[in-house]
Chain A
């Protein structure tokens, strides 16, 4: 199966770039998958933690993050309904095609 080219017009990136809250933010992304969306805003964030239920796509995201020196990124396998973080840990929660 061939993956499509997604949003070459960069509409999604442009919309995310307008969200001021992401600048310098501690971000958690729910449903981060392979990181496709993450890379579009992560360079502006202080760090990003990706959460997904699927271990294989998180592995893909972790490997991809190693090639992106400007991004501070880590992953956690788990559910959005029980996140292993203390109250008040993040500036931004992103539901990435996952709500």
Chain B
């Protein structure tokens, strides 16, 4: 990741900006929405992805400390996914998120129970917390810090 950030620094113009937009591993909630309201079913287990989160944070921190970039703004926001059934959500998670998340069986069971209890059509919502940060390119001196991996 540090190499990718160094490459970004190289192709950016002076005072150029890099934008880091990614979901955080915060065990997002699963909710069943129906005309009756919103019922929590539990949480996705994001623990397999936490190491990647830390690695990304560490890589950014390193290039900032080395003076390649200056942190400008950081914000968090919610990003929700909606499916029409628990089965659709499960199929998607197994195909697209299997490397990074797990759906605990007890949570899936509760989600299915809530789906059955809902009289009308339901939606299944998973809301991820997003990280958005911007960094400005800094010029480095003649003894620049590129290649310094310490």
Contacts and interface: CB of A to CB of B under 8 A. Distances in A.
A74 to B, nearest CB: 15
A83 B11 contact: yes
A93 to B, nearest CB: 4
Interface stretch (B40-48, B72-80, B111-119): B72-80
B79 A11 contact: yes
A97 B22 CA distance: 4
B95 to A, nearest CB: 5
A69 B59 CA distance: 37
Contact of A4 (B10, B20, B22, B83): B83
Contacts of A58: none
A94 B16 contact: no
B140 interface: no
A49 to B, nearest CB: 10
B16 A90 contact: yes
B11 A95 contact: no
Contacts of A98: 22
Interface string B116-149: 0000000000000010101000000000000000
Contact of B81 (A5, A11, A89): A5
Interface residues of B, number: 38
Given A81-B4, A83-B7, A4 B81 contact: yes
Interface string B58-75: 011000000000000001
B82 A5 contact: yes
A21 to B, nearest CB: 4
Give the interface centre of A5, A37, A99 by most chain B CB atoms within 10 Å. A99
Contact of A7 (B7, B18, B79): B79
5 closest A-B pairs by CB: A80-B4, A4-B81, A21-B17, A93-B18, A5-B82
20 contacts: A1-B92, A1-B95, A2-B91, A4-B88, A5-B82, A6-B79, A12-B21, A12-B77, A19-B134, A37-B21, A83-B7, A86-B11, A89-B11, A90-B16, A91-B12, A91-B17, A93-B18, A97-B23, A99-B1, A99-B60
Interface of B: 1, 3-4, 7-8, 10-14, 16-23, 56, 59-60, 75, 77-84, 88-89, 91-92, 95, 130, 132, 134
Interface of A: 1-9, 11-12, 15-16, 19, 21, 28, 30, 37, 79-83, 85-99
